[in-house]
Amino acid sequence: MNVEALRSIGLSIATDALHLRPYSRDLWPRDTLKMYKEGVLPELPQAVVWPERPEHVEAIIEWATQEGVTIVPFGAGSGVCGGVRGRAGSLVVDLKRMNRILAINPHNRTVQVQSGLLGQHLEDQLEQTGWMTAHSPSSIACSTTGGYVAARSAGQFSSRYGVFDDILLAASAVTPKGKLQTGLWTPKENEDLLPVLCGSEGGLGIVTDMLLRISPLPSDRWLRGYAFPDLQSAWTAMRELMQAGIWPSVLRLYDPVDTKIGGKTSASDAKSGGGFAWMKNLASKSPFLQRHLLNLPLALPGLINKISAGISGEVLLIVGFDGPTPIVEASTKAAQKILANARDMGPEPGEHWFRHRHDVSYKLAPVFIAGAFADTMEVAATWDKLPTLYQEVRAALGRHTAVMAHFSHAYAEGCSIYFSFMGRGQLKTYDATWKDALDAARSAGGTVTHHHGVGVLKSEAAAKEAGAAIRVWNEIKTSLDPDGIMNPGRPFPIDFEPTTDDTLSAPTDGPVFELNETSLLATVDPQSNPDTLQTELASKGYTLRIPPDRPFGEWLPILSREATQAWETPVFTIQARFDDGVRTRIQPAPRSAAGPDLRWSLMRRATLETVQVPIRALSGDINIVGGHPHLDLRDVRPAWHTANGWGFEKSQSDLAEICHGEPSSQTQPTRNPKESS
C-alpha cells in the first residue's frame, strides 16, 4: 500500500504494529475469547489515517478507489458485534479528529456536529448552553456520533426522546461516487437515503457531519422504584404507561433473577448483595476458589438456570419522568393510577440507577482469564409477542449459559429485552449460544438486535430478517460503492440470497385488514381514503394516532423527518410487491437496529400492499397538563390531547407543509391557539 500520496496532503498516517493493533478489532467478546483461549488476534490493517475535515475524507476515498483498497471507518471502537473487525490490507479511517460542534440553533432545536465527536463531549458542551440530545447510551464516554449513525444506536431515555435514528434529522457522507446529502439536506430532486445510511455500518460511505434534534435540559426529574409481584403485571403497567401517552423517559424492569441477584427489592437482599453473594464472599476467603469460582456453575448452566427459575418474589420496575415541572408533576400524577397495584419503593432505586447509568464494566478481562466469557444480547418485539420472545430466547441462551435479563427501551408498540449471560470459555459454546439465541429471536417474531448493531456476529441473521427487501440495499450499495470497498460484508453478507416468502399474499378484506389491540397497531390498505379508514376504525373503538391528509401510500413516501416528533412512529410493518411478483414484508420490532431501515426506499421501488400504523383508543385519554401559559408544546406528550383549547395534534395543512421538499414549519415554534398570531 503506497500511502505517500495521502501524506502529501497533510494527513496523519500510521503503519507500525503498535498503532495498528488497537484498530484491528472492536470489543466483540468472541475476539476477546479467541485471544485468551488461542492467542489468536484479528488480522492487522495496513494503515490507519486520521482525517481532520471532510476534504480529507474525500481524498481518502478517492485514493482508495483508485488503489482498490478496502476502507473500514472507525469511531471509538466500543462496538460489541465485530462491525470494525480488521482485514488484512485495509485502510482504517479514524474520525475522532473530526470532533467539533458546528452550530447550535435553539430556535429550531437542532445542533450540527461532526461524526467523530464523543457522545459525552457532545452532551457536556450542549449542557453549558442549556440543551441536550438526551441520547445516553451506557457507552457514552467511549462512542461517537458517527458510531451512533452506523449502528442505529439507542440511549437510555429513548422512550421519551427516541433512539438516535429518531434524533437524526440530516447527515452528509462521502461515498466512492461522491458526496451524499440526506435527510433535511437532501436535494429536492433526490431520494432521501438517510434511513439507509443510518444502520449501514460504513457499508455505503463515511458520515462526516449531521444535524440532530436537541431538547432543553429538564427543569425537573422524578425517579422511583416499584415492586410488582411478577413480570406479567409489570409488563402490563409498562404497556399501559406508554399507550396512555404519558411517555416516561425511563421504564426499566428487571426479571426475577436480575432483581434477586442485584438485591433490588428487599432490604435483606440489598444488604447481602443479592442471591449469589455468598459465592463472592466465599471466594474472597480463598485465592484457589477465586481462580476456580466459575468452573462449576458454568459447567452446569442448566442447573444454575433451573435454580434461578425457582427464584420467586417481586420484580423491580424503575419509572422516571423529566422535563418542565408542570409536565413532570402532571405525568407522575397520571402514572400513579396505573402503578397503584405495585409496591412503591420510593425514589432510591431510581436515583441509584440514574447515578450509575453510565457505569460500564471495564473488568471483564478477569472473566475471560478465569476461563469463561460474558456477553449481552438485546432483542425486541411488539407487546403481544414480548412474553414469548423472553421465554424462547432465555431458554436458548440457558442451554449453554447462565442468563438474566432486564427490559428497557419501551414504546407504545413494544419493548426491548436485554439479556446478560455467562458461559464456559470455549468458542464452540459461544457460537452455539449465539446461533440458538438468534434463531429463537426470529422464530418468536422479534428482531435480532435492538441497538447494538449487526457487525460480523449478526450479519446473516439481519439479512434473513430483511428478507427479499435486501434487494433495496444491494441496489443502493451498488450505486454508491460499485467496487465494494466500503467495509465489505457490513451490515449484510456479500452476495446474500434471501429466500422468497411464498406465504405472503395480497389481502382483500380491507380497508382495515387486522387489528393488534395489545400493541395498538392496525394493518390497513395504503390506498384507502383516510376518512374511510377512520370510519372503519371508529366502529371498532379506535382512531389513527397520526392521521394523514391523503392515503398512506401517497403520504408516507413524502413525509419529511421533522414531520413527526421523535417519540412517534408513523408506520410500522409494510408489505410490498416487486415488479417481478416477489413479495416482501418488513416487520421491524420497535426501533430495530438490524441494519438500515429499508421501508422508505422499498416504497419507491415496489407496490405497497399493506401498511401497519399506530392507533389509539377513542376513550380513555389521560389529560396531562391542561393549559399552561409557559409551556412549549414541543415538550408535551401526547400529541392528541386537546384539553382547555390546547391543540396538540398538527393540522393537516401543517403536515402538508413539512412534507419532503416543501417549506418547513419546524423553524416556527408551536403556539397555543389561544395566543394571538
Residue 591 has pLDDT above 80, yes or no: yes
Lowest mean pLDDT among 97-101, 473-477, 544-548: 544-548
Tens of pLDDT, residues 159-216? 999 999 999 999 999 999 999 999 999 999 999 999 999 999 999 999 999 999 999 9
pTM (two decimals): 0.90
Would you call 202 exposed, middle or buried from its count of C-beta atoms within 10 A (0-12, 13-18, 19+)?
buried
* Number of C-beta neighbours around residue 648 at 10 A: 17
- Taking residues 456-463, report their average pLDDT: 97
In 3-state terms, what secondary structure has residue 603? helix
* Closest by CA position to 519, among listed 408, 442, 391, 616: 616
Q: CA 305 to CA 483: how far, in whole Å?
A: 48
Tens of pLDDT, residues 641-672? 433 333 333 333 332 333 333 323 333 222 22
Residue 27 has pLDDT above 60, yes or no: yes
* Closest by CA position to 7, among listed 45, 42, 68, 56: 56
Q: Specify the DSSP class assigned to residue 155.
A: -
Handedness of CA 590, 596, 598, 601 (dihedral sign): positive
**Spacing of C-alpha 319 from chain mean position:** 20
- Taking residues 585-591, report their average pLDDT: 84
CA 469-473-478 angle, to 5 degrees, is: 140
Domain residue ranges of the chain, discontinuous segments joined by +: 4-94
**Dihedral angle computed from the Cα positions of residues 193, 198, 199 and 202, in that order, rounded to the nearest 10 degrees:** 80
In 3-state terms, what secondary structure has residue 48? strand
Q: pLDDT averaged over the chain?
A: 86
Tens of pLDDT, residues 135-151? 999 999 999 999 999 99
Handedness of CA 345, 351, 354, 357 (dihedral sign): negative
Residue 67 has pLDDT above 50, yes or no: yes
* Closest by CA position to 419, among listed 403, 432, 433: 403
Backbone angles phi, psi at 77, to 5 degrees: 75, 20
User: Which class is domain 4-94?
Assistant: alpha beta
Backbone angles phi, psi at 352, to 5 degrees: -65, -45
